[in-house]
Amino acid sequence: MNKKVICLFDVDGTLTKPRNIISDHMTECLLKLCANIPLAVVSGSDFQKVSSQIGTFVTEKFSYIFSENGLVVHSYGQKIKSTNIVEHVGEDILQRFINFCLQYMSNIWLPRKRGNFIEFRNGLINVCPVGRSCSQKERDEFAEYDAAFHNRLSNSFPLSLIVKLLNRWRYCNLSTCFTDSCTI
């Protein structure tokens, strides 16, 4: 096995469709590959979500799993390191940020809203206007709505939200990005 080469994969959109489980074919390919080359996964999701998507058996075969944007590191299924955003910016800033997002989203109208609009992870705050508890069908509908009306990019929603977030927290070393068709 070549120790100087490692294959690094993202989960959502690479090994799996976003928020879906890995196919049997992809699992077979990874198991064949890991016999010759060390494998690693990187994901914004937590280790439990990664495991549920690619399977516990597969996670134990990977040399490394960098979950929560690399803040939590597992090797062959065992946690070896972790840190979190609270240590980076502090509780006060996090609460102000979360409260701001919730207040902002409570004042917009969308065709559907479900629960879990804010998800706290070790390395990020996931803001999801439609709600992370939406079904796959509702996610797809939101993505179509967003594409048609540019909701996340319009002055009425996220661009203005993103500008406000960046202006308000620019000195706190926080950044904003689109992670998929439904989140900021």
146 catalytic, yes or no?
A: no
Q: Which of 12, 46, 140, 180 is catalytic?
A: 12
Give the residue numbers of the binding site for alpha-D-mannose 1-phosphate.
19, 121, 132, 139
46 catalytic, yes or no?
A: no
Percent of the chain with pLDDT over 90: 34
Residue 2 backbone class (left: φ over 0; alpha: ψ -120 to 50; beta: rest): beta
Give the residue numbers of the binding site for Mg(2+).
10, 12
Task: List domains and CATH numbers for the chain.
Answer: 7-82 (3.40.50.1000), 86-172 (3.30.1240.20)
Q: Are 37 and 30 in contact (CB under 8 A)?
A: no
* Mean pLDDT over each residue of the chain, to the nearest integer: 83
pLDDT band for position 1 (50/70/90)?
A: low
3-state DSSP call for residue 30? helix
Please give the pLDDT value at position 57: 85
Give the residue numbers of the binding site.
10, 12, 19, 121, 132, 139
